[in-house]
Chain A
Amino acid sequence: MASGNFDPGLVQRAQKGDEYSRNLLLRRLSKVFERYFKAKIGNQAVVDDLTQCALLRVHSGLPALKQPDKLKAFAMKAALFELHDYYRGRHSPKEKTYEPQMLPERRDSPDEWFGSKFDAERALGTLTPRARRILELREHGYKYKEIAEILDTTETAVKMQVKRAFEKMRSIFTD
């Protein structure tokens, strides 16, 4: 549907290579992205990064957008992809929980402890449904504080569940 700042005519002109229209469109989209990421993340440096990345997605995908009136959905997906990439990426542990180089054996990776004998499914089976939800949400990139909000509990309780999950798995890992 035609709309104020993002009418399909402007999108079509931008798609046809009209530089002024493209710049205007991206400028307007950048305001939407910035407002959105600011509301979701807050940190200005991250907001700037995500805004740029989302704009890049739009910029590179715009020529292939078949229906100019679907710009809103197109931009929404660009924003959601960036947001969830960010969530997932921020979880990449900067500091490993296990630091092999600090141990006398100096093993290079957890694989060398277990080889092919590692039974992940058995470990998974030790988790309570709640602990599993917590760990899965964590792998989706949510912070423990956010997980606590999602599950309507406290951050301390969530972390305690994580520790309990580990304690239950220890016998499997040391078999």
Chain B
Amino acid sequence: MDQSEILKKVLCEEALNAEEKQAHIENLEADPDLARSLAGWQRFRAYMRDRIPSPRDFVLYSLVFGGHAEDLSEEEAAEVNEKWGALDSVIESDPGYSEVAAQIERDRQDFLTCWELEDNRSTARVLPLRTFRMAAAIAVLAVSVITILLLLNQRDVTLQVATVDPGEYERVLLPDGSIAHLNGPATLRFDEQNFPRSVELTGVALFDIAHQPDQFSVQTEEAVARVLGTRFGVRSMNGLTQIVLESGRLEVASKIENPQSVLLVPGQMTSIAQGSAAPTPPVEVNIEDQMGWTGFIFFRETSLRKAAVLLSTSRNIRVDFDPSLINERVTGTFAPDVTAEEILDALALTLNAEVLREGETYRIVP
């Protein structure tokens, strides 16, 4: 057995197997100097450990050192100030400090990124609340940038493929700032590096398109939808593509040669079957009911009674409200990953109401 290798493992705190352990013990018994040296090593390591400031002091010191003194409370700043001399002298003599400080800066940045992602996940836009006869309005625009699961196609390094399983939801941030909300099963393909503002979709998605001078296009097997800046849902399944426009303007055409196109205005739907020369004429639809397949909840001047039903159905909970709120109306859009509690909180905020939980039922009361 290689004693040198065992010793290295011991020094680097790696676990020994039974055989190695026995060999190590025998080695220590045969070589008292080695045993003494290991004891000294252990004590030396403890000495080094004791020299290092506590993680808390180190983090605070590093924040100040990194130019983020504003992150500290008055008490923390006073604390660091008091210990500054001692911390400074230890850290000055610690060649590993700069690496750890750099790591703390990265840790800080990573946290702030996570914070922004969560903070922007559901941003409420509260419209004016007049009297109980006026519509209470809220818009929760899910314009989040989240960590996305993008699978890199090995043959072409710039082609990104986002795949979402049935029943799952994923928000994909596109290079131009547009967002595709995939409601599985769905697959989205796009060229990340040379993004031509064009994506290919199979399955169901809702698109929030960043307004830019260039057109944005979504291609399915059957259709191509071109827009400037808008939000619309696409369902492409079994040889049929349905497109519902929620806001903006949208041109939809067949993918065959010399296609005919239709222009949608908000609240209209068209569909196109494989091989068809033209999309069906646009028809008016109820967004609340006709875009539920995107996984989003849409409230458009929706009565609180209907909103409660939509929320109950979508999130599998029971929602009730005080009869005095019967005439209230709400407007808003909620992404699939916004929880029932968050939606209720947004509604309560707008209605100047409260949410009480009574057993399994959430009750909105003035």
Contacts and interface: CB of A to CB of B under 8 A. Distances in A.
B81 interface: no
B7 A137 contact: no
A14 to B, nearest CB: 12
B96 A24 contact: no
A83 interface: yes
A76 B111 contact: yes
B7 A163 contact: yes
Contacts of A104: 29
B55 A35 contact: no
Given A32-B115, A129-B95, A144-B12, A113 B55 contact: no
A140 to B, nearest CB: 5
Interface in B182-214: none
Q: How large is the interface on B (under 10, 10 to 19, 20 to 34, 35 or more residues)?
A: 35 or more
A77 interface: yes
Interface string A103-138: 110010011011000101001100001001111110
A74 to B, nearest CB: 8
B99 A137 contact: yes
B45 interface: yes
A139 interface: yes
Interface in B71-129: 71-74, 76, 94-97, 99-100, 103-104, 107-108, 110-112, 114-115, 117-124
A172 interface: yes
A93 B118 contact: no
A100 B114 contact: no
Given A4-B122, A110-B40, A150 B115 contact: no
A151 B100 CA distance: 11
Interface string A138-162: 0110101000001100000001101
A13 to B, nearest CB: 11
A88 B48 CA distance: 13
Given A103-B35, A166-B11, A39 B110 contact: yes
Given A4-B121, A70-B73, A166-B7, 12 more contacts: A36-B111, A72-B115, A73-B71, A95-B16, A97-B10, A100-B39, A102-B28, A113-B39, A132-B95, A133-B96, A136-B96, A163-B11
26 contacts: A3-B119, A32-B118, A39-B147, A72-B115, A73-B72, A77-B72, A80-B111, A81-B55, A84-B58, A87-B55, A97-B45, A98-B35, A98-B39, A110-B39, A113-B36, A114-B40, A124-B44, A134-B96, A142-B100, A142-B103, A163-B11, A163-B12, A166-B41, A173-B37, A173-B39, A174-B33
Interface of A: 3-6, 20, 24, 27-28, 31-32, 35-36, 39-40, 65-66, 70, 72-77, 79-81, 83-85, 87-88, 93, 95-100, 102-104, 107, 110-111, 113-114, 118, 120, 123-124, 129, 132-137, 139-140, 142, 144, 150-151, 159-160, 162-163, 166, 169-170, 172-174
